[in-house]
Amino acid sequence: MRFNYVYWARHDYRHWYQFGWVPVTVYAMNLPGFLAGRSLLTPLTIYAGQTSDYKELALNIANFPKFLQLAFPTAVLDHYELLKRGLMVLTCLILLAGFWYLRRLDLTPQRFMMVATWSFWTCTMFLPSMHDRYSYFVMVMLAIVALLDRRMIGVALVSIGISTVLYLRYLLNADAAINLWPLAIIQIINYCGFTAGTFLHPQPEYLHSFRSITTD
């Protein structure tokens, strides 16, 4: 639903009806849970419940809240509720700023894919109580973007590599703890590079159209 704002800011209302499929697909995918007795409000409330249950800024993920959690453990523990709300507001402000800036750019299908990836990544990068599974879709999107824009190959490889390292602990049932401090810093820098490539330094000559990819 974040892209509703993009089209509103650009005064382009031709595709708004397509966003109606978002709640339809969300509830369709959750049908087994509803049949098992879960509330119809669960898709809307489950994340808020998670932030109250765990009371951690970040779980097994390399992102900005994890950086804060590792850098200032005592302050994060003492001011969790304030920081949680602050990170939610920060995420919204970053998304709004990015989408407002899009008014200046030609929203081609390729850039739309990059901005979609950026918007999902922004959520997993800054929202509180994220864990590694929230970022899996971002990794898939980054792999697609890397095929469209070769400048992003390094970004995709680094991000997917970090995600793989974090998941290996569970995949191999290993007890060894992973030092998330350097991984969080690397991932934050990686995100900033992707943001700059998406908004500040777009290079259309590196982008292949979807038509050429499908016809080759």
Judge whether residue 22 has pLDDT over 50.
yes
CB count within 10 Å of CB 211 equals 9
For the stretch 65-76, pLDDT in tens is 999 999 999 998
State pTM to two decimals: 0.79
Q: What is the mean pLDDT of the chain?
A: 81
Predicted local confidence at residue 5, as pLDDT: 55
1, 119 contact by CB (below 8 A): no
For the stretch 25-47, pLDDT in tens is 888 888 888 888 888 887 777 76
The Cα 165–Cα 140 span in angstroms is 16
Residue 106 tokens read as 């030609």
For the stretch 92-139, pLDDT in tens is 999 989 888 877 777 777 778 888 899 999 999 999 988 888 889 999
